Structure 1
Amino acid sequence: MIKMTNFKMKTVKEGDVTSPLGFQAVGIHCGIKKKRKDLGLILSEGPAVSAAVYTTNAFQAAPLKVTQQSLAKGSTLRALVVNSGNANAFTGEQGMVDALMMRNAVADSFQLSPWEVAVTSTGVIGERLPIEKILAGIEQLPHLLGEDGASFSEAILTTDTFAKSLAVEIEIEGKTVTIGGTAKGSGMIHPNMATMLAFVTTDAKIHPDVLQRLLHHVTDQTFNMITVDGDTSTNDMVLVMANGFAGHTELTEAHPDWPVFVHGFHYVSEQLAKMIAQDGEGATKLIEVVVQGAATEEMAKVIAKKIVGSNLVKTAVFGADGNWGRVVMAIGNSGFYVDEKQLDITIGHTLVVQKGIVMNYEEEAVTQSFKENKVKILVDLNQGEQSATAWGCDLTYDYVKINASYRT
């Protein structure tokens, strides 16, 4: 059991998007990639109240526009289809035609309304989808569908080095409610809901407007607080489906168990976000930056992301160079006024700056902290009561190698 604040959660062994009641998934190889799985589907046995947030990139890909059309028609979905290897982005009118063909093919194969199907893609930008291969793959999905979240998790990967899934169980009105999630993301990762795919399923029953508000709030604290390389993609989204199969009354902010659901939803989202940051292209270390004592939450968020996104901080961590001056540099570039005479900086367990004064510390302790798999940097501005946490990774030689040969 995991206990956080007053709420208890149980992690589901090998949990994923099929862990909640009424959800199935499948992933197959349809021929976009040479060998690896590249087409996946999630299906709810009944209508699922759904919500989504999307990339802020100006060149939003066709699949996202199609998904927005579906959700604008109604607040429920039955299916999500996703391909990897080709982003169907910057592909003009033909890209929209292809994305609509994917949606309609899934609807026909599973006897659904097209408006009950969401579509997304990830991969190379500017190339047309091999739509005939995808349509042939979709025809196979009804015969292969099962409680197989692992194959779906594999099918959405691009340069990722591992699949990212988990699920937890909570209690609502004495009934077991499950929240499952699967994500992908490795490069072109930067906040503002971009550069990743994340799918969350739950058998909770929840009002659609409430779910959308919750998703926006939690996204700002989790997925929007990670960065790998500062680049915002054209494609990616977080999408949530809640089918109500757990059998409790509808959740709203006034429900007595609402905090329990929020807690579980936030936990799943945060863990997926951290997995994405940890799996940054070529990464060897997860960096966690906590900023506290800020005058506003926005100040804390911006400074935390400035630090974790700094290439100089990232390379210092990679080389285990205890150069905490780069943290100071990043804070100073945040655009917020920070009183250096109030500033505290802790690297790992070592306090290196207190009230703007450099401490008499052992540099080897800082170096050792930078050698750990998880590097923690704590900044206390001592200017207020607000705090925020951001996650990222180190910048390595392999990042350049991977992105220099992405298409080859």
Structure 2
Amino acid sequence: MDIMPGGVTSPKGFRASGAHIGIKAVKAEGVAPPKDLAVLVSDAPAVVAAAFTTNRVKAAPVLWSQRVVARQAPVRAVVVNSGNANACTGDRGLEDAIRMGEATAEALGVEAEEVLVASTGVIGVPLPMDVVLRGIPQVCSALAATPEAGEACAEAIRTTDTFTKQAAVRMEIGGQVVTIGGMAKGSGMIHPNMATMLAFLTTDAAISREMLNRALKASVIDSYNMISVDGDTSTNDTVAVLANGLAGNPVIAEDGPDFAAFCAALHALNTHLAKLIVRDGEGATKLMEVVVRGAADVDAARRLARSVTTSNLVKAALFGADANWGRVLAAMGYSGAPFDPAGVHIRFTSPGGSVTLMEDGEPLPFDEDQALQVLRESEVRVEIDLADGDAQAIAWGCDLTYDYVRINGEYRT
């Protein structure tokens, strides 16, 4: 499935906007103020499916949005602020999240229960609601269906991200062109079972709520749940997809070729956005893809791949371009997944070449200069072949750099 330029305004019937309203401080005179409020609207009632953080500590907007989704009714809009997570803020935090939804609903002429709310940023600080409530009508008044509006929306949900993350896919279903667009944010506090990440997807596909939910849950398992930057799972993670049916395709209400095509497109987009999040990991210089093949079952393959991507020692070796295969094997060993060490093959590959480090559980002599050439590239794949079965999985991570410590040491200041 080919990924194309675009974003949340690519499908029919979606408008977006993003602006600086004053939640984030202006960094310097003469520098454009950072956008910090985003609004996304469907012109028609949209079916919604969503997944949220598995952290027991859930931010106020997550609690509100879970209620909205649990209604199993159409939604019309999403409002997102950045710079403040509205997490660990008690009763006031939930009241503020509800007020964000109500203010957005009032500006759009819809019901508050039709508005998803999300926040991202510093934990434990109340939202400046005077700023937020003044800013929401301002941002709603600028809603547009243009690529530029989608870009502004994607920019407004960023925190430590260094670039906006958005894309789109297109397919034909029932003789009609169907589009899925998406935007995401995430750079730190990224770990399996989602991350400090937000992802919002829009589609003009006509699809039932049940099938949309199935498609999203199946995709999340092998996309956002397979990325890690630093082993921290956030309080605010949210991924939601809105489907307004304006493409005019026959409603996807059961298994079949149409549902399969939609699932493939949705998963391609989610995987692309998930990899962008890892590529933009705080301070990261390299994207690591870990491929596990020949595992006993899919669960074992996923656990092994994720254990390697989350190992600080593997991540540090990647930063230093050190072909330390022992750290890979050790991370596999403490993953809790069953495998036979005597059947392990390990290779590092990249645009710089390939180097095999282990075969049938035995280390191989290798050329250090060749390994250095492989590991100096900005994208490195760790290929692990086992002799335990036919299952496979892919996980994504990044290197651990000095800048990660600097960024997070200064995060609140």
Fold shared per TM-score above 0.5: yes
Among 366, 379, 384, the alignment partner of 1:379 is: 384
Query: Structure 2: how far apart are the matches of 1:160 and 1:250?
Result: 37
Q: CA-to-partner distance for each residue in 1:102-161, whole Å, 9 max, x for gaps?
A: 000011111101111000000000000001101101111232111210000110000000
Which residue of 2 is the match for residue 340 of structure 1? Answer: 341
Post-superposition shift, 1:10?
A: 5.0
| Cα contact 1:86–1:122 (8 A) shared by 2 | yes
Alignment of 1:68-147 (within 5 A): 68-147=66-145
Cα drift, residue 74 of structure 1 = 3.1
For residue 28 of structure 2, what is the aligned residue in structure 1?
A: none
Unaligned runs of 5+ in 2: 26-32
Paired position in structure 2 for 1:270: 271
SS at match of 1:288: strand
AA aligned to 2:301 is A
Q: Give me the whole-angstrom Cα distance separating, in 2, the residues matched to 1:278 and 1:194.
A: 14
Aligned-partner Cα distance in 2 for 1:407–1:259: 44
Match of 1:353 in 2: 358
- Give 1:279's aligned residue: 280
Q: State how 1:236-251 maps to structure 2 within 5 Å.
A: 236-251=237-252
Give the partner amino acid of 1:98. Answer: D
> Any idea what the Cα deviations from partners look like across 1:21-59, whole Å, max 9, x if unmatched?
000100011100012100001000000100110001111
CA RMSD in angstroms, aligned pairs only: 1.1
Q: Which amino acid aligns with 2:65?
A: T
Deviation string 1:342-369 (CA, Å, 9 cap, x unpaired) is: 1111111222111112223222222222
For 1:218, the equivalent position in structure 2 comes to: 219
Partner Cα separation in structure 2 for residue 159 and residue 374 of structure 1: 21
Q: Specify the code of the residue in structure 1 equivalent to 2:404.
A: Y
Deviation at 1:338, TM superposition (A): 2.2
| Deviation digits for residues 142-197 of structure 1 (CA, Å, limit 9, x no counterpart) | 32111210000110000000100000111101211101110000001111123100
Q: Distance in 1 between matches of 2:103 and 2:232?
A: 33
Larger deviation, residues 133-142 vs 370-379: 133-142
Q: Between 218-227 and 207-216, report the one with greater CA deviation.
A: 207-216
* CA-CA distance at 1:339 after TM superposition: 1.4
Aligned-pair CA distance for 1:71: 1.6
Alignment check: 8 A CA contact 1:29 1:38 kept: yes
Percentage of matched positions with identical amino acids: 51
Structure-to-structure mapping, 1:4-43, within 5 angstroms: 9=1, 11-13=3-5, 15-34=6-25, 35-43=33-41
Structure-1 separation of matches of 2:332 and 2:71 = 44
C-alpha distance in 1 between matches for 2:178 and 2:401: 41
Q: Which residue of 2 aligns with 1:323?
A: 324
Task: Name the counterpart of 1:180.
Answer: 181
Counterpart of 2:399 in structure 1 is 394
The whole-number CA distance in structure 1 between the counterparts of 2:62 and 2:110 is 19
Counterparts of 1:165 and 1:316, CA distance in 2: 30
Q: Residues of 2 paired with 1:337 and 1:154: CA distance?
A: 43
Asked if residue 231 in structure 1 is aligned to residue 232 in structure 2, the reply is yes
Secondary structure class of the residue paired with 2:10 = coil
Q: Aligned partners of 1:156 and 1:116: how far apart in 2?
A: 20
Q: Tell me the distance in 1 between the aligned counterparts of 2:345 and 2:4.
A: 39
| 2:165 and 2:185 in contact (8 A); partners too | yes
Q: Which amino acid aligns with 2:240?
A: L
Aligned to 1:6: none
Name the structure 2 match of 1:5: none
Whole-Å Cα distance in 2 between the matches of residues 269 and 43 of structure 1?
20
Indicate the larger mover: 260-269 or 343-352: 343-352
Work out which of the residue numbers 27, 44, 47 in structure 2 matches 1:46: 44
Q: Is the 8 A contact 1:23 1:44 kept in 2?
A: yes
Q: Note the C-alpha offset of 1:11.
A: 4.1
Provide Cα deviations, 1:188-222, integer angstroms capped at 9, x if missing partner: 11111231000111100111011112111110000
Distance in 2, Cα, partners of 1:269 & 1:331: 26
Select between 190-199 and 123-132 the one with higher mean Cα deviation.
190-199
Describe the SS at the equivalent of 1:268.
helix
1:243-273 deviations in whole A, cap 9, x for unaligned?
0010011113423322111111010000000
Post-superposition Cα deviations, 1:257-307, rounded to whole Å, max 9, x if no partner, equal 221111110100000000001100000000000001000111000110000
Matched, 1:367 2:372: yes
